[in-house]
A and B are shown apart, each in its own frame.
Chain A
């Protein structure tokens, strides 16, 4: 699977939107973009995933660049419970395994 690049850490104020970037310049046409997050001392949890079009769900929105070489996870209104490490992962269709990178540690400032 192609590699992703994320900032090591980000900070955001509570109740404000958060935009978490991810670069994946070597993405292939069949790579899905997945986002997971891991709260302290817990297993990761699914946030969202997409292929080409922007996606929305109850947790977040995923904005995918037209050339698919980058994407942005958007938390519309951050809460303290959103403090976690966010992982952007590319996964090729049919590949069951997920390979985690280093992720972005998001700190929410009250």
Chain B
């Protein structure tokens, strides 16, 4: 069964509003989680690394004030898209590993599809 869960799976919002997406590790603690974005017919693009108890690390070109990441507990990271606009419409996916080190399996959430009207 799923070990990383996202909520909501789909969200539609009006332009200018903010949307929060939750990512939970269900049966393990994750000090690090990763947020990806995927546009239609394209590959996944890493947006940021969410670190429990500290600031997220953003990839080049990703606006940290636009995409707020909070990792307040070992099982929950949230991504808030602030003042969303139609160009922010995308498939947002989070992921985490059960063990650190980089060689093990990365578990992905089901994804959250954001549509901004």
Chain A nearest CB: distance from B36 CB in Å?
Answer: 8
Would you call B71 an interface residue if the criterion is a C-beta within 8 Å of the partner chain's C-beta atoms?
A: no
Chain A nearest CB: distance from B52 CB in Å?
Answer: 13
- Chain A CB count within 10 A is highest, among B6, B44, B105, B108, for B44
Which residue of B has the minimal Cβ distance to A46?
Answer: B105
Q: How far is the CA of A53 from the CA of B53 in the complex (A)?
A: 38
Q: How far is the CA of A102 from the CA of B32 in the complex (A)?
A: 25
Would you call A79 an interface residue if the criterion is a C-beta within 8 Å of the partner chain's C-beta atoms?
A: no
Residues of B within 8 A of A45 (CB): 108
Chain A nearest CB: distance from B105 CB in Å?
Answer: 4
Which residue of A has the minimal Cβ distance to B44?
Answer: A100
Chain A nearest CB: distance from B92 CB in Å?
Answer: 10
Please report A residues at the B interface, Cβ cutoff 8 Å.
32, 36, 38, 41-46, 49, 87, 91-103
- Complex A-B: 12 CB contacts under 8 Å: A32-B103, A36-B106, A41-B113, A42-B110, A44-B93, A45-B108, A96-B32, A96-B49, A97-B102, A99-B46, A100-B36, A100-B46
